[in-house]
């Protein structure tokens, strides 16, 4: 795939055109983005996931004990027998971490950096069900998986947009409808951040939300400054060597502000440090407890590979890589490793989640650094043996 080939997923637009005209800007409806898409998961299987302790799920019932009642999973087995016929939605987060066929959907979006993808959330709605008119702060592709959903899109919103009084759900008090579409299985709607939208199920309906993530400016500032502060000593302080005599000792003069500004600029201008922090931050796993990891030594690794073992990315691991001054940086589930440039192709194929086996690893394993890297990633849990 190149940036110039028309993509069915984008309704015949090239990735370059989509990024130029729609991404982060305006909605795009794509009929049959995935022709004849069949949901790899049935509504019953989705309901089954919502009973699991480790899976995040929510139920939104429009006319429950209060309007737009929100219940959080895990749910009891009899939950679904006691729900009304209509007007409720079950939402299950990060299904891609549990169901490989759902994880495969992410590959369709390889024209975007994988570290921008958050998760694939799947909803099931009974007829009439929806989560109310709202906006999200993230880009999302809403792929219709089963049944039909009516999507209405409205105005661009911001932090001042009036919301209904609700302890937990952010439902818009005003919705200015601009467009309305009925989506069939395989149809997909792209929505940029902050665009009001309102989906309602026409019949039993499943929607896959491929959601993206972008750190807020506040998060970048607080986390990055915490990160650099670890490397600063107590001796590094505000300094006013060469200051002029104070004419009014109670005044904070502009030169003090200038000194602070240079102090900050100096600390914030190290791109290498910024990259290290960002890679670690963006690869923090959502469910660190699912990484596990296993104690293994090099002899055991070789043994396993000789017996035909396949090494794959742990579905809960997040991986990314970068290059600085000829070296390679690998970010694996919140850690970063600086590696020699000759490991670039290995690092790329680890990040691309290509299956690793004796054939494609043999040459690498002769390199001590490469062998050590593979072992560390297995111990940390970012790579695991595929069960076959």
Contacting positions for ligand SIN (CB under 6 A)? 89, 123, 125, 131, 136, 140, 197, 199, 207, 209
Report the partner that residue 382 touches, choosing among Co ion, ligand SIN, none (CB closer than 5 to 8 A by kind): none
User: From CA 330, how far away is CA 347, in angstroms rounded?
Assistant: 7
Choose the stretch contacting Co ion; rule: CB under 5 A; options: 41-49, 74-82, 108-116, 134-142.
134-142
Packing angle of the helix pair 298-306, 358-365 (nearest 10 deg): 150
Using CB under 5 A, pick the residue from 136, 139, 187, 384 that binds Co ion: 136
Nearest to 197 by CA among 181, 214, 213, 184: 181
Name the residue with tokens 């982060």.
24
- Rounded to 5 degrees, φ, ψ at 384 are -145, 165
Least distance in angstroms from the C-beta of 187 to ligand SIN: 14
Least distance in angstroms from the C-beta of 246 to ligand SIN: 57
Choose the stretch contacting Co ion; rule: CB under 5 A; options: 128-136, 158-166, 215-223, 352-360.
128-136
Per CB under 5 A, does 119 bind Co ion? no
Binding track, positions 141-180, relative to Co ion; x by CB under 5 A? ----------------------------------------
- 198 or 224: CB nearest Co ion: 198
CB < 8 Å & 24+ apart, contacts of 241-248: none
Q: Which helix (H) or strand (E) holds 282?
A: helix 271-282
Least distance in angstroms from the C-beta of 141 to ligand SIN: 11
- Give the CA angle between residues 377, 383, 387 to the nearest 5°: 145
- 87 or 139: CB nearest Co ion: 139
What are the DSSP E strand ranges found in the chain? 6-7, 13-14, 28-30, 57-63, 67-72, 88-92, 117-125, 140-146, 149-156, 179-183, 188-191, 195-201, 205-212, 311-313, 319-324, 327-332, 335-339, 383-385
Choose the stretch contacting Co ion; rule: CB under 5 A; options: 10-18, 84-92, 130-138, 169-177.
130-138
- 94 or 140: CB nearest ligand SIN: 140
- 42 or 225: CB nearest ligand SIN: 42
Q: Give the footprint of Co ion on this chain (CB under 5 A).
A: 136
């Amino acid at each position: 795939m190149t940036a110039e080939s028309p993509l069915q997923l984008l309704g015949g637009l090239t990735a370059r055109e989509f990024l130029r005209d729609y991404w982060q800007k305006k909605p795009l409806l794509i009929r049959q983005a995935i022709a004849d898409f069949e949901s790899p998961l049935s509504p019953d299987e989705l309901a089954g996931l919502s009973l699991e302790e480790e899976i995040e799920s929510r139920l939104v019932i429009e006319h429950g004990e209060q309007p737009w009642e929100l219940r959080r999973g895990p749910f009891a087995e009899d939950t679904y027998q006691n729900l009304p016929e209509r007007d409720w939605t079950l939402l299950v987060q990060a299904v891609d971490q549990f169901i490989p066929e759902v994880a495969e959907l992410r590959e369709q979006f390889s024209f975007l950096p994988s570290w921008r993808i958050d998760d694939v959330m799947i909803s099931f709605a009974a007829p009439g069900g929806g989560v109310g008119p709202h906006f999200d702060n993230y880009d999302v592709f809403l792929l219709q998986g089963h049944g039909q959903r009516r999507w209405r899109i409205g105005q661009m919103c911001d932090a001042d947009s009036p919301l209904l009084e609700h302890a937990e759900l952010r439902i818009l008090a005003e919705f200015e409808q601009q467009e309305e579409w009925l989506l069939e299985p395989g149809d997909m709607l792209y929505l940029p951040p902050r665009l009001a939208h309102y989906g309602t199920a026409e019949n039993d309906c499943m929607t896959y939300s491929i959601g993206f993530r972008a750190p807020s400016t506040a998060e970048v500032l607080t986390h990055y400054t915490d990160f650099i502060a670890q490397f600063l000593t107590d001796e590094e302080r505000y300094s006013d060597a060469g200051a002029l005599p104070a004419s009014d000792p109670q005044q904070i003069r502009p030169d003090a502000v200038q000194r602070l500004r240079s102090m900050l600029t100096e600390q914030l201008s190290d791109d290498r440090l910024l990259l290290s922090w960002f890679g670690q931050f963006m690869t923090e796993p959502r469910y660190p407890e699912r990484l596990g990891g296993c104690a293994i030594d090099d002899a055991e690794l070789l043994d396993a590979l000789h017996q035909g073992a396949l090494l794959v990315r742990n579905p809960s691991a997040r991986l990314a890589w970068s290059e600085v001054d000829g070296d390679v940086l690998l970010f694996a589930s919140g850690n970063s490793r600086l590696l020699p440039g000759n490991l670039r192709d290995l690092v790329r194929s680890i990040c691309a989640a290509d299956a690793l086996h004796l054939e494609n690893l043999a040459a690498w394993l002769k390199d001590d650094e490469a062998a050590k890297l593979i072992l560390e990633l297995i111990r940390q849990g970012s790579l695991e043996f595929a069960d076959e």
